[in-house]
Each structure stands twice: as structure tokens, then as C-alpha cells.
Amino acid sequence: YRDLRLSSLKTDPDAFVSTYEEENQRPEIFFYNRLQYSTKEPAFGYYVYFQNDHPIAYAQLGFDYYPKKSHLGYLYELYVLPDYRRQGIAQSLIQHIIAKASQNPTLEQLLLKVCANNTPAINLYQIHGFRLLATQDNAIKDITNKYYAELTYSLNLT
């Protein structure tokens, strides 16, 4: 997971709020804990797509710790290595996460956030039925002090 995560931050820095430089400095235990603490039965956690025993893509189905928000799920960190894009892997991961979320009787809505300039991701989410809820201007500020809007999308599961 660590290598795949660092690759995502290197190849697509604008798709993530974290940076390669920041996470490359983190110890192995950071990544282990991230995986460990993201898991909550029956559906929450990281989903990794393998080819020939090598991880090539991943996404996370996350949950909210607050009981009053237990009806919400979150799609985080969708990533596919560049050499494996345009093969339907991202679509498969999204479909799998939607199916897992739909099987959880407490979940009613799946949310995600995406940088407004990430048109391929936005198109992919819209194909799967996600609808725009909100736009937050200047939500992301990169190291060159350039601002980006962040979009929040939602998919009703009920």
C-alpha cells in the first residue's frame, strides 16, 4: 500500500490533498495504521486491485465516527497506476465500493470530494450516478500558492 500510495502522490499530485514529500517522510507504521484504522466491518476499508500479485489500484470506503453521521459513507483515494488506466479498473473499483456500501443497511448516502480541475475523475463519478452537491472555492492551495476549487459529490444508496 505504501508504494502504491506514494506513486499516486507522485504521478497525480493535483488529485490528492497530501503530498509525496510529506508522506514519503512518514514511517512504515503510519501506513500500517492507516489501513488498520480504516477497517470497520462489514464493508469499510481499503479495496486494492491486483494484477499478477502486484497492487495496481486502490480506493477506500470510509465511515464517519459520529453516530449522527453513521448513515454516510465516503469514497476516498481512488487511484490507478498510469499504465493500467482506461481498462475499466477504476470503474470496477467504484462499482465494487457502491455495491459494498449498498449492502450495509445503515448507509444511505455515499460522498466524495474531487478537485474541480480533475475532469476525468468527475466524468467517471457522474457516470456512476454521483451528483454535485457543493463547490468550495479556494479549498485547496498548492505549494505555488495556486488555489483550486473542490467539489462535493453524493450518491443516494436508498
Q: What is the pTM of this model?
A: 0.86
**pLDDT tens profile 28-42:** 999 888 888 777 776
Dump the DSSP string for 80-114. E-GGGTTSSHHHHHHHHHHHHHHHSTT--EEEEEE
- Confidence grade of residue 18 (pLDDT, cut at 50, 70, 90): confident
Average pLDDT of span 36-58 = 85
Q: Among the listed ranges 30-44, 123-137, 142-156, which one has the minimum average pLDDT value? A: 30-44
Asked if the model's pLDDT at residue 144 lies above 90, the reply is: no
- On whether the CB atoms of residues 98 and 62 are closer than 8 A, the answer is no
**pLDDT tens profile 59-106:** 999 988 899 999 999 999 999 999 999 999 999 999 999 999 999 999
